[in-house]
Structure 1
Amino acid sequence: MAPHATDPVTAPTPGRTFQPYIPATQSPAEFTAKAIALGILFGVIFGASTVYLGLRAGLTVSASIPIAVLAISVLKKFGGSTILENNIVQTIGSAGESVAGGVVFTIPALIFLVPHGPAYFNYTQILLLAFAGGILGVLMMVPLRRALIVKEHGVLPYPEGTACAEVLVAGERGGKLAALVFSGLGIGALWKSLSWIFGVFRTEVGHSIARTGVLPNATVAIDISPEYMGVGYVIGPRIAGTMVAGGVLSWLVLLPLISIMGAYITVPFPPITSANALNAATGQPFLISEMGPGQIWSAYIRYIGAGAVLAAGLITLGRSLPTIVSSAREGVMGFGVWALRAALRTERDKDDARDN
């Protein structure tokens, strides 16, 4: 029996047939003009914030939950909405920030690696790359949806998707979730205005040991900003601790180690980058022994970090490859079979004449 409209969203259970919150036999308003327009608007706003956060903090967080909360609040002002319309808004909006995340983690790397990278890429190229990536993502997800979501329901937890569903259901019952989002937005804006625009207080504090110290160029610094605190709260202590460990390794281990080794290197050590290209005092590229902490980080340590990220990505891809291959095979093989069974709303991967 399908759940009543007030039933809570239950945690997925392996081996149990899932009953959606909105029964599959019902087709309330979903892909409407106002949902599409609001989703695009949120996609632009959260996409821009994703680019800023990704370039500043080195990672992003999904915007699905805040977009879902805002969708419920905003659409109530325009005559109300169904839970499926709210879901469409958060889907479109979070897809926009996901595409922005894909851009911010790939294009800078290409600019970083390609000779004359900043001059090579322009806004039109980046726009077309993002558009192509978004289209490919949608086309790949259609055949994989049944293999990764339908068949794996109760096996893969999808914690963020489950939490987003809880938010949407809670919005159906009413509440003040949007007030929390707007209060966080206000606090962040106030903090940023006082520190960044008006300069009432400093948010960056740090100290570096001299090149002649026991740990030459070792640096400890902190940047107290609302975006960092928000990201840290969302990703949790385990991932945040991993990032802190990376910072400790870079600035308190590798930086002094390179500085100590550099004291014995009497010629410029490659790669020669803009960080160490020319010492105005000597007219030659900087020696490591002449560099400050920021120069060593730009010239050497960030390359080590990029290599670590690449290695982690390859390891993750290798571990996930069997699942990806099997899911793709099942998706393609079952595409025609499922199409014949797609009489119910929840079993259709595309709209057709039955929606008219």
Structure 2
Amino acid sequence: MGAVKYLSDPGINGSHTRRLDGTEVQKFVAPKATLMSYIIKGILDQRLPWALVILGVMIAITLELCGISSLAFAVGVYLPLSASAPILAGGLVRKLVDRHLADKLAARKLSQAELAAESDKSPGVLLASGYIAGGAIAGIVIALASVFLRPFMQRMSQWAETHNPFYSGAYADALSLIPFVCLAVLLYLAGRGLFLSGEKAQPNGTPSPP
């Protein structure tokens, strides 16, 4: 008689999306954890491709000598396009806000470091930090709901597939694009101090002291 064997497939970075009975298993992706596991396994097994590591170091040194941030370049190469595109959109919003701030403070003749410090004090930075924290919390909530509220999540998914034409198919991303644009506009307004700034403008246009 054969021995019974069990396959243990983790919920994070797992490879099997269906059980033996045909039911679907939701898997979650953690690219950072995957990268670190590759590095740790490579070091422990002494199979780390050092040629690629050294090549990456040389590219980073070349970028730094050219005045380009090697960290930003590496993040853009490492992350998939679905994750780097929102980062690019956020960078464009920050660029527009910084340009407005530079024009606003042109009379003070601040240096680049002082302008960067003023930009970091913008309400938009706080709002962007809230976006990051909210995204992390939402991911945890969705993961917990998929485990403890699986029947409810399945019913919601079935209802959305039936009644929501944008839930799946070629235009599935159009529905999520609407709140994304709203969040970007809200971030831009907050960065310019037009929203959630906590300041009240005086009749002459200058903000009142706190």
User: What TM-score, normalized to structure 1?
Assistant: 0.28
